[in-house]
Structure 1
């Protein structure tokens, strides 16, 4: 009898956990805690996009605000692809408004690198940005 490696077993478990939500159309349950995002400092953060797009400020309360920067509506289904101590990757689908995949790499509690791509409002998007804490939320 051939056994699966731990990596294959974890991937299969994650896939099977997402199947009921996909079949039933309900929100996917988080397979992981995304604990790295909880270690980020709360407050006002500035996003600086590498393509020259004007900087944007957001209020970070949990760190999860950084996942769906192009999809602000609530209720999107999320699937955690990677949940590491210094890096997370989340794929999400927003019914009727597209989807995205975001990778967030922590450089410090007040500095992260973000790469995201997907479809929003029927149009593709892709961006890389640096997010840095700038103070308290107003």
Structure 2
């Protein structure tokens, strides 16, 4: 398994959230609900980090160039820097950077590997 996955499994914040919700220790036995809880924490944390470091968006590290250009066009934004403000990156309404379904696939399907942007989301969390 990927070292990044192991670091996520050992993360204190995620483990503290999970300790009240399950006694299961093997992540491959988790349900989609467990992965949704994990994804919610990752999304909150990544949104917090982007609010403090918009370069993660401006350098297309977490969102592809096409997606950024579409947001600029759809919402009449003038620059890539405006996107971080537009996304309203708050802890109560984080952007869905990674889903529980995606995380579940990473842990349960051995042949599924994260694509670059999703890998960057996980690395940003860590």
More strand by share: 1
Structure ranking higher on relative contact order (CA contacts 8 Å, 6+ apart): 2
